[in-house]
């Protein structure tokens, strides 16, 4: 059969085939980032073409110990090991899909020695021996007439690239979590300091109350109130110590180490929040800067290739298998004409009726594509939402810190004045007690706001991609599939 005749046969079989995918199609449409408006949310925010974070963005927080801890976590964390193993799995799957496109060639050789039983021996003697030698090779190739195998390989390759980008997303998440845990550790130290200061103040008040009681100025009831306040301050200090130890252990876990690693850390310095600025090209270039967005796009492309591969199963398929070799009894010429054999078997197949299996498979691939598009759209919307929310909270937190600092300063002045008047015997006990509680609350609120500003600064770096793709954005950005 010549090539022309073969093509005619294939065309006739394709036209006559009953299995088809008419009526099946995808519904998902990717969002255009430029249609998601951000102008009002970014109003008043500094815009700069150089505002993308650097790959080592955490250095801007101003603590060399933090840099070392993040490097330690990236090297030792089980989270990174999990991400690396998943990327390895995806790469192996892509390698296997590519191997499926290649022909196979196998060789074999063997010798068998046998003795026949009496009922097996045509002579009826039962003492016949034989030795059979064989050597051969087999070849098989499935012609990828419609590109289905290539599409399957491209789909697996897309998943592998997505898994590689997931590694970078895991790296960014881990670095941000370590930075936040480090900030939490610093906050825990500050809270403990405030609890210590509060205990010192209550003990000072207890001493003054004792002297006033001995002088007949205060009653036993007022002295007992101060004793109760001092006991409460001790309890708060114990709780602060507990929270500090928990913060150390949480950071040690992120580092991939045992709980004792946290006790080896020096006290964090006061971190400096990064300047609030965003790129002027937002949101357009965000698509190539956030690893989770890039991974989501690769998965959309992989789902599209799986659809292409599934459609080719409806078409005729051509397979070629062949084998050749030699087989002979001991004593015969191993490679003589009588011992040689070969076989060539081209096969043409076409699905005609399969109970709807192929349509069900294609419908599932269409659903996978729609799901991948929906997840991409969700990731894009959430990414812009993260940036808008973080910027808004950073602005408001900055104003809150200014107001709270003023409140804490006033509370400190009022407390100093109240204690001075109380120690002189002219102040009111209840006024001093009230002012002391206001001072403690103001100081704790100020510390909490400062910690929140650090966390929001870290979140902004993470929301902007953490420096991913700054040097090689195009190489990791998938091609756009026409909708």
The Cα–Cα gap between 446 and 405 comes to 6
Per-residue pLDDT, 267: 93
The Cα–Cα gap between 423 and 201 comes to 13
pLDDT by residue (tens digit) across 58-114?
A: 988 888 999 999 999 999 999 999 999 999 999 999 999 999 999 999 999 999 988
Strands (E), 209-295: 277-279
pLDDT by residue (tens digit) across 369-421?
A: 999 999 999 999 998 888 888 888 888 898 999 999 999 999 999 888 888 88
CA torsion, ordered 401, 403, 405, 406, to nearest 10 deg: 170
H helix count then E strand count, the chain: 9, 6
- Per DSSP, the residues of 360-412 read HHHHHHHHHHHHHHHHHHHHHHHHHHHHHHHHHHHHHHHHHHHHHHHHHHHHH
Q: Are 147 and 280 in contact (CB under 8 A)?
A: no
The Cα–Cα gap between 429 and 437 comes to 13
Report all structural domains of the chain as residue ranges with CATH numbers, in order of start: 21-101+147-315+356-472 (1.20.1600.10), 105-143+318-349 (2.20.200.10)
Name 334's Cβ contacts closer than 8 Å, sequence gap at least 6: 133, 135, 326, 328
Q: What is the mean pLDDT of residues 310-328?
A: 91
- 479: how many CB neighbours lie within 10 A of its CB? 7
Name 408's Cβ contacts closer than 8 Å, sequence gap at least 6: 439, 442, 443, 445, 446
Q: Are 262 and 249 in contact (CB under 8 A)?
A: yes
User: What band does 450 get if pLDDT is binned at 50, 70 and 90?
Assistant: very high
Residue carrying structure tokens 């046998």: 114
| pTM score | 0.81
The Cα–Cα gap between 350 and 146 comes to 13
* The pLDDT of residue 321 is above 90: yes
Across all residues in the chain, what is the average pLDDT?
85
Give the percent of the chain with pLDDT over 70.
85
Name 52's Cβ contacts closer than 8 Å, sequence gap at least 6: 279, 285, 289, 464, 465, 467, 470
For residue 64, cis peptide bond before it (omega within 30 degrees of 0): no
pLDDT by residue (tens digit) across 45-57?
A: 555 555 688 888 8
The Cα–Cα gap between 229 and 231 comes to 5
The Cα–Cα gap between 104 and 139 comes to 6
Residue 418: φ, ψ to 5°: -65, -40
């Amino acid at each position: 059969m010549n090539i022309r005749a073969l093509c005619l046969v294939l065309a006739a079989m394709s036209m006559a085939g009953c299995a088809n995918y008419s009526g099946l199609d995808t519904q998902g449409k990717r969002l255009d980032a430029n249609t998601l408006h951000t102008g009002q949310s970014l109003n008043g925010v500094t815009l700069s073409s150089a505002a993308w974070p650097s790959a080592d963005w955490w250095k801007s927080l101003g603590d060399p110990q933090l840099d070392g801890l993040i490097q330690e976590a990236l090297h030792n964390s089980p989270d990174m090991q999990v991400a690396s193993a998943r990327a390895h799995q995806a790469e192996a799957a892509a390698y296997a899909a590519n191997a499926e496109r290649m022909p196979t060639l196998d060789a074999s050789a063997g010798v068998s020695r046998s003795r026949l039983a009496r009922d097996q021996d045509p002579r009826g003697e039962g003492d016949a021996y034989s030795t059979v030698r064989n050597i051969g090779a087999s070849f098989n190739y499935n012609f990828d007439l419609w590109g289905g195998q290539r599409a399957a390989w491209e789909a697996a390759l897309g998943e592998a690239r997505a898994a590689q980008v997931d590694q970078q997303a895991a790296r960014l998440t881990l670095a941000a979590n370590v930075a936040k845990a480090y900030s939490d550790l610093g906050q825990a130290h500050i809270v403990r300091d405030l609890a210590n200061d509060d205990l010192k103040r209550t003990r000072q008040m207890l001493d003054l109350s004792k002297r006033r009681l001995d002088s007949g100025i205060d009653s036993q009831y007022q002295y007992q109130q101060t004793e109760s306040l001092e006991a409460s301050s001790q309890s708060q200090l114990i709780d602060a110590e507990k929270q500090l130890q928990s913060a150390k252990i949480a950071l040690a876990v992120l580092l991939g180490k045992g709980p004792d690693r946290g006790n080896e850390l020096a006290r964090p310095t006061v971190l400096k929040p990064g300047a609030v600025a965003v790129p002027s090209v937002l949101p357009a270039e965000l698509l190539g800067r956030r690893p989770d967005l890039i991974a989501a796009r690769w998965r959309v492309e992989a789902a599209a290739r799986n659809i292409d591969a599934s459609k080719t199963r409806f078409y005729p398929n051509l397979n070629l298998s062949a084998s050749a070799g030699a087989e002979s009894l001991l004593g015969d010429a191993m490679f003589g004409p009588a011992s040689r054999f070969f076989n060539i078997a081209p096969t043409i197949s076409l699905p005609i009726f399969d109970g709807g299996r192929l349509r069900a498979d294609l419908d599932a691939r269409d659903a996978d594509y729609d799901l991948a598009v929906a997840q991409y759209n969700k990731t894009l919307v959430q990414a812009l939402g993260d940036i808008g929310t973080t910027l808004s909270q950073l602005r408001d937190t900055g104003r809150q810190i200014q107001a709270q600092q003023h409140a804490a300063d006033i509370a400190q002045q009022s407390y100093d004045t109240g204690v001075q008047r109380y120690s002189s015997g002219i102040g009111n006990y209840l006024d001093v007690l009230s002012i002391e509680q206001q001072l403690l609350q103001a100081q704790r609120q100020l510390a909490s706001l400062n910690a929140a500003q650090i966390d929001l600064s870290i979140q902004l770096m993470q929301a902007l991609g953490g420096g991913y793709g700054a040097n090689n954005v195009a190489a990791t950005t998938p091609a756009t599939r026409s909708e």
